Chains A and B, each alone.
Chain A
Amino acid sequence: EVQLVESGGGLVQPGGSLRLSCAASGFTFTSYWMTWVRQAPEKGLEWVASIKEDGSEKYYVDSVKGRFTISRDNAKNSLHLQMNSLRAEDTAVYYCARETNTRDWGQGTLVTVSS
């Protein structure tokens, strides 16, 4: 059974940083692209970033370019999202998903950016 478990969310002040993690199990992690998707409170889904199997290609939504970095540790079957210079509009539940077409999803972790 595929399992994706996000962690690292919390309350952070504007301008601050946070690092999200996603522990993956139940599939061959090194064979799949991985993706982060977010959902602001009472809003729709927004794709954030994706990373290729070996980490050699990364893509980001324009609103996070230069501030967020997606990475993966294939030895530990884990995905990460380093978020810097956080803004109020980054407040959302962040989901980890398998594949760029988001085949499987985790339960999400809430990030709140507020003073």
Chain B
Amino acid sequence: EVVMTQSPLSLPVTLGQSASISCRSSQSLVQSDGNTYLNWFQQRPGQSPRRLIYKVSNRESGVPDRFSGSGSGTDFTLKISRVEAEDVGVYYCMQGTHWPRTFGQGTKVEIK
């Protein structure tokens, strides 16, 4: 199975500053159709996960443009610009290229 490794696992940030989360996969996530199925999710305390980004860099409708995804192959990044209080929660990457689907361990974002 493809192992997804996130870092850091804990990320204290100052309001208004930016934050970056890394996600590395043990195999390339480029599928035979040419797409790279790397997703990012946000889980706020007490809530269900919500998909923020799909196919590396595509934002879901309603997701603020402060969130951006980048990367290729096996190395991906989620960046949050100008962190706000509502961004507190756990962020997960997930690969949708190989079976079984696999998630990263999660990165907890908190305000300093």
Contacts and interface: CB of A to CB of B under 8 A. Distances in A.
27 contacts: A35-B101, A37-B49, A44-B92, A44-B106, A46-B103, A47-B94, A47-B101, A47-B102, A47-B103, A59-B99, A62-B100, A95-B49, A100-B96, A100-B101, A101-B37, A101-B39, A101-B94, A101-B101, A102-B41, A102-B49, A102-B51, A103-B51, A104-B51, A105-B50, A106-B48, A107-B48, A108-B48
B7 interface: no
Contacts, number: 57
A112 B59 CA distance: 35
Interface of A: 35, 37, 44-47, 50, 59-62, 95, 100-108
Nearest to B99: A59
B100 A47 contact: yes
Interface residues of B, number: 23
Contacts of B76: none
A44 to B, nearest CB: 5
Interface in B79-98: 90, 92, 94, 96
A50 B37 CA distance: 16
Contacts of B102: 47
Contacts of B51: 101-105
Contacts of A47: 94, 100-103
Contacts of B96: 100-102
A78 B99 CA distance: 23
Given A44-B104, A102-B49, A107-B48, 16 more contacts: A37-B49, A44-B90, A44-B106, A45-B103, A46-B103, A47-B101, A47-B102, A59-B100, A101-B39, A101-B96, A101-B101, A103-B54, A103-B60, A105-B48, A106-B48, A108-B48
